[in-house]
Amino acid sequence: MDRKEFQMQIQNLLEAETIDVAAVTTLIRAQLADDAKAALQAFTMLIETLAEKKSLAGAVDCVAFYDANNAQLTGFDLNQMRDLVRRCAATDADKLLVDSIGLNTALASAIVRRLSVLLALKPGAYVNSQSWGFGQVQQIDAFAGKVIIDFNGKKGHPMSLTVAGQNLTVADEDHLMVQYMKDPEKIRNMAPGDLVRLAIQSYGEMSVVRLADRLAETKLVTPENWKKFWDSARRSLKADKANPVEIPTKRTDPIRLLEAEEDFGDKWLARFAKQRDIKAIYDGVLAFIEAHQNEIPDSAEDTIKKRLRFALKGADRTDFPRYAQIAILMRNYDLSTEAEQQAQAATIVECDEEDNLLLTMKGLPARDVKALASFLVAVMPESKAILLDHLTAYNSTALSAVLEAMKGDPEATAAVRSLLACQAAPVPTVVVWALRNTDDGWKLPPLNDLVTQAIHIVEQRLSGESLKMRNTLQGFFDNKKWLEDICSKLTAFERQMMFERIQASTAWEAASQRSILVRMVKEDSKLAQFRRQVKAQVEQEHLTSMRSLTALKLAYDYLVNTEIPKNTQDIATARSFGDLRENSEYQYAKDQQRMLISRQSEMARRLQMLTASDFANVSCDTVKPGTRVTVKTAAGEMTYSILGELDSDETLNIISSRTRLAMALIDNAVNATVTIPTEKGTTEATITAIEPLDAAVQAWLADVPTSHEPNA
């Protein structure tokens, strides 16, 4: 379009009583390629006209256009867009909305998203919240800056405009839940396939797992009926060729509604050339390549390369896993130069404020971790040392994938052997990997050394990934086939050492420990002569008072029924705030979740293992839990009351049977000389008296709590 005609059309649109911002910006977008100067002048005119007319809704549309085209709108910046929004807030109500969105720091996309929601919040409007579910707006309290919403589970819920702008989406008349609230019987009687299609249209693409949760939340499909419902829905969706649906093989991938059977031809390529979503670009290229028998036709190479470069730039330092996937994909199909690949590898292994490599590894599936390791070693040989330096920091999945990619490499073999040579402080992930790969040509340390390290790890109190590995190792020993295989590969002496080590350990549950020992005796009958009465020993070592056991049970109930549900709510609320990559509230809540789950696992294990005792009528011939013992050292005499594993009280000198001091004293008689720990090391002590518990300690034992005090 020539400049004169373009300016005339823009002028006519801007002189209308109500400005059609979409029509104006469509003209500007088309003109940018032919006459950028005229297009930029028109955009300036649009901004000034909107400010003059005080059109806040128009300003939002204008900011959305800027957000999508800022690279071409040279001379304009985000601060000008923020200023436009301020100038268009004419009424007190508008100013209240603008003040609530954090305009001074919000990105263009956030301004558009938040103000679009707030402008649509009218009494009667239907909204959806990730935290509260579906609801209907009842009232806007401008004075208090709140919106009152009737949610399904909570009527009259007040929500600040700030939270509403970040947390809510406004549903149109075609939304599943709007239709359900207007005519519940119609929705309940809908065919499974139609209901799934309506849910995807309403909520957007989602996985089968999320779909099941959505329909369960609305009580349209119960968890018990889900399998039957989904089987029926899937059959009908696949049979409907007129309205195709992409149903993924993985339950965690999204279900997609397709306009037509995708042929990945010229029309698809034309649409794809305008795609700006990073994930959609990556997934689109994978689908395109699959449709073309794992090749990229020459006619499509330029478009594919441009979109991947766009996505790579967008993912740089914002989404490390996706950045790595795109870099690998481009190398695999010769869409990047060697210099570009080396720069990409350097970005992935760079360690600035955070460790980029670990961030990348944590977000990739195992197959992509292996591909990443191969990519880094091939493109940037010096990165091999960096990969190996991180072995102790990887989770189990990443460790296995990296070592699989480096199998047979002498440096990788040496690094693994070095880590496994550390008998005193074995690395749980490395030991688990080693026991899974004993016959895989890695030249690992002797099997007996690995088994010894595994037992040592099982005996530790761990958390996070290390706790998962500890439980995995315990599962190895409980596995009949694995145990038989290990025993067959050890020498008779090594089997005896393993047998006695497990028998002496307090880490296993009594039933599990007995089962392991019985299986080992079946494999080697000579081990029976080393068998002791494990049951009595284990029960004694896992005693604690009713007071302490009750306190642990109350703390466990509080954790499960109060702390974990609150954390789940915190995660949902934080997720609603937006971009998870820069969402500190979300990251903190997820860190708390990992800590709480670790605590729950450890507390459950201890509750299952412990037995309550009142420590009455305990023999005083030797020191044992339930006795009061006096010891004499060069510094003088001290008296201690030894109780169960969880028991301690400094004022009454009550010590746990699991303390180093108690274990040094237990099973010794009066006049025995023992070595006991001190603050500066150890010292010699003589046991001068062993007596029953006194009245003060018995009163302490009788004081059983009835409720949990979170701050205690």
Q: What is the pLDDT of residues 423-469, one digit of tens each?
A: 667 899 999 999 998 877 788 888 988 998 999 888 887 777 888 89
Residues 586, 574: contact at Cβ < 8 Å? yes
| pLDDT tier for residue 711 given thresholds of 50, 70 and 90 | low
Q: Which tokens in the block code for residue 25?
A: 């910006």
Length of the chain: 712
d(CA 572, CA 576): 6
Q: Which residues pair with 527 in a beta bridge?
A: none
Mean pLDDT of 135-149: 85
Q: Per-residue pLDDT tens for 239-252?
A: 887 788 888 766 77
Q: pLDDT value at position 536? A: 41
What is the pLDDT, as a whole number, of residue 577?
58
Pairwise pLDDT comparison (282 vs 677), residue with the higher score: 282
Name the pLDDT band for 285 (thresholds 50, 70, 90): very high
- pLDDT tens digits, one per residue of 339-354: 999 999 999 988 755 6
Look up residue 26 and give its two tokens: 């469509």
What is the rounded distance in angstroms from the CA atom of residue 129 to the CA atom of residue 398? 35
Q: What percent of the chain has pLDDT over 70?
A: 94
Q: What pLDDT is recorded for position 537?
A: 40
- 459 vs 425: CA distance, rounded Å: 12
Rounded Cα distance between 308 and 289, Å, is 13
Separation of alpha carbons 25 and 22, rounded Å = 5
Task: Report the pLDDT value the prediction gives residue 148, as an integer from 0 to 100.
Answer: 92
pLDDT of res. 309: 94
pLDDT of residue 583: 54
83 falls in which pLDDT band (50, 70, 90)?
very high
Q: Which of 53-67, 163-177, 257-271, 675-689 is predicted most confidently? A: 53-67
pLDDT at 257: 83
**Please, what sign has the CA dihedral across residues 14, 16, 20, 23?**
negative
Q: What integer is the mean pLDDT of 526-532?
A: 84
Which span out of 56-60, 499-503, 567-571 was modeled with the highest average pLDDT?
56-60
Closest CA to 253 of 206, 286, 319: 206
* 144 has a pLDDT exceeding 60: yes
CA dist 708 → 550, 551, 566, 647 (Å): 9, 7, 17, 16
Q: Is the dihedral of CA 530, 534, 536, 537 positive or negative?
A: positive
pLDDT level of residue 102 (50, 70, 90 thresholds): confident
**Highest-pLDDT range among 168-182, 203-217, 291-305:** 291-305
Interior CA angle at 473 toward 471 and 477, to 5°?
A: 115
Whole-angstrom Cα distance, residue 136 to residue 117? 13
Q: How far apart are CA 3 and CA 35, in angstroms?
A: 7
Residue 293 has a pLDDT of 87
- Cα 118 to the chain's mean position, in Å? 31
Query: Would you say 674 and 610 are in contact if contact means Cβ atoms under 8 Å apart?
Result: no
DSSP 526: G
**Residue 169: which H helix or E strand, with range?**
strand 168-171
- pLDDT (average), residues 603-622: 86
Tell me the C-alpha distance between 61 and 328, whole Å: 37
Output the DSSP codes for 564-583: HHHHHHHHHHHHTTS-GGG-
Which range of 202-211, 234-243, 665-674 scores highest in mean pLDDT? It is: 665-674
Indicate the pTM of the whole model. 0.47
How confident is the model at residue 586, as a pLDDT?
65
C-alpha gyration radius of the chain: 34
Cβ atoms 544, 643 nearer than 8 A: yes
CA distance 664 to 681: 14
If you average pLDDT over residues 7-24, what whole number do you get?
A: 90
Grouping H, G, I as helix, E, B as strand and the rest as coil, residue 452 is helix
Please report, for residues 396, 512, 525, the alpha-carbon distance to residue 522 in angstroms, rounded to integers and kept in the order given. 32, 16, 6
| Torsion 647-653-659-662 (CA) sign | negative
Backbone angles phi, psi at 570, to 5 degrees: -60, -40
d(CA 239, CA 712) in angstroms, rounded, equals 61
Confidence at residue 576, expressed as pLDDT on a 0 to 100 scale: 60
Q: How confident is the model at residue 367 (pLDDT cuts 50, 70, 90)?
A: confident
Give the H or E element holding residue 146: strand 146-151
**One-letter identity of residue 512:** S
What percent of the chain shows pLDDT beyond 90? 35
Q: Which residue has the higher pLDDT, 152 or 77?
A: 77
- pLDDT band of residue 41 (cuts 50, 70, 90) is very high
What's the pLDDT score for residue 210?
A: 85
Answer yes or no: is pLDDT of 16 > 90: no
Q: Average the pLDDT over each of 31-40, 94-103, 534-543, 682-691 and give the range with the smallest value.
A: 534-543
The residues that bridge with 127 in the sheet, in sequence order, are 135, 170
Number of H helices, E strands in the chain: 35, 15
> With contact defined as beta carbons under 8 Å apart, do 649 and 700 qualify?
yes
| Ranges 397-411, 504-518, 534-548, most confident | 397-411
